[in-house]
Amino acid sequence: MKLLLDTSDVHAIKRIAKMFPIWGITTNPAIVAAGGVQLFDLLPAIRDALGGEGTLFAQVISSSVEGMIEDAHKLNERVENLVVKVPVTPKGLQVIKELTKQGIPTLATSVYGAAQGLLGVLAGAKYVSPYVSRIDAQGGDGAQTVSELQCLLSTHAPDKELVAASFKSPRQALECMLIGCKGITLPVNIFDLFISDPAVAVAVDQFVENWGKAFHTDCL
């Protein structure tokens, strides 16, 4: 499974990269704006934080077809191995189709329905990201949407990849993993929650305490 971080926090990327092989980093305009660092300065810093490896995903800003294509070219030229995120809208589908002709890889984003996501990949996107928690917030079933989209991809576009996104809890991400989702992108706080159960710290401290009492040392 491919695990990505959804963040613009370079320090967090470095911290997590020391303990886990991050496959890639995704950003969006809201995440970049919250971090306060211009995207063109941020992308090389993220690349450095990953040791020059991994796949970066960055989103177009413009609302016009021509503007999104121009954004895509600028992003593609900024760092190597970058995938351009394009919302699946009528204009976005035009952009995905054109960028695919030009050999620029894309991710179909802002996906709230399985059929919408399928259109994004059939237009040419290599990746597609359904918004799990946002679908739930609108009264839908995010995990079910992921399952339906994954089924559609298996039938109609087996060479494309689903990367589930927008999680508010570890349980939401776990449900997508159990479905068989091959890729998920997690906010830093959700990644940390997977390994921050207080019971784990208590168990480790108890092991150390018992060892110390028996052998009067805290190491082998």
Identified catalytic residue from 85, 101, 168, 182: 85
At 187-196, the pLDDT tens digits run 999 999 998 8
At 163-198, the pLDDT tens digits run 999 999 999 999 999 998 989 999 999 999 998 888
Q: Which ranges constitute the DSSP H helices of 56-180?
A: 65-78, 90-101, 114-122, 132-137, 142-156, 170-179
Residue 61 DSSP class = -
The SS3 of residue 140 is coil
Catalytic residue status for 14:
no
Backbone angles phi, psi at 36, to 5 degrees: 75, 10
Q: The domain 2-215: what is its CATH number?
A: 3.20.20.70
Whole-number percent of the chain with pLDDT over 70: 100
> What number of residues does the chain have?
220
At 94-143, the pLDDT tens digits run 999 999 999 999 999 999 999 999 999 999 999 999 999 999 999 999 99
Q: Where are the domains of the chain?
A: 2-215
d(C-alpha 58, C-alpha 40), whole Å: 10
For helices 90-101 and 114-122, angle between their N-to-C axes, nearest 10 degrees? 30
Residues 6+ apart with CB under 8 A from 204: none
Banded pLDDT at 67 (limits 50, 70, 90): very high
Rounded (to 5) percent helix, strand, coil in the chain: 55, 15, 30
- Does residue 218 register a pLDDT over 90? no
Banded pLDDT at 217 (limits 50, 70, 90): confident
Q: What is the mean pLDDT of residues 156-162?
A: 97
